[in-house]
Structure 1
């Protein structure tokens, strides 16, 4: 199943177009490899998705073409959620 479709059907991301944008920005990895929206997702794959200052890592449990809202969470297991440190930009001193 395509990555963007899995994200929509599992409701990790609400819309497929948004899932495609996030993937094409390099914010999603499958098994630690940066992935595009068209990448193939298989059961037992590990996805890491960066949402702003948070990274959510999930394990794919099932692939379904469509699902009810209450059953969507059964398609994955959340392994971890971590907040990213906000990095302050460094100032370059050009007075040499």
Structure 2
């Protein structure tokens, strides 16, 4: 599955167009390698997303083409959710 579609379906990012922009800016890493929006996501991959003031690290648990809101969080598990130093 494409990275931008995974971010949208899992509801980590609300819109696919925004997910594409974030990935193409180099703010998303798959297994510690900068990934473009077209990168392939597989089960077991570790994805790091740098939002404005926080960094989220997740592990891909499942790939689904579409999900309900209640099932979206079963697609990944959170490994780390860190805030930037200036916010603490």
Shorter-normalised TM range: over 0.9
Query: Which of structure 1's runs of 4+ aligned residues deviate more than 3 A?
Result: none
Matches within 5 A, 1:61-76: 61-76=61-76
The size of the alignment, in residue pairs, is 86
CA distance in 2, matches of 1:80, 1:5: 22
Pair member with larger Rg: 1
**Is residue 9 of structure 1 aligned with residue 14 of structure 2?**
no
TM-score, length basis structure 1: 0.87
Q: Report the counterpart of residue 23 of structure 1 in structure 2.
A: 23
Unaligned runs of 5+ in 1: 87-96
Task: Identify the structure with the greater helix proportion.
Answer: 2
Unaligned runs of 5+ in 2: none
CA distance in 2, matches of 1:85, 1:34: 23
Q: Report the counterpart of residue 78 of structure 1 in structure 2.
A: 78
**Is residue 40 of structure 1 aligned with residue 35 of structure 2?**
no
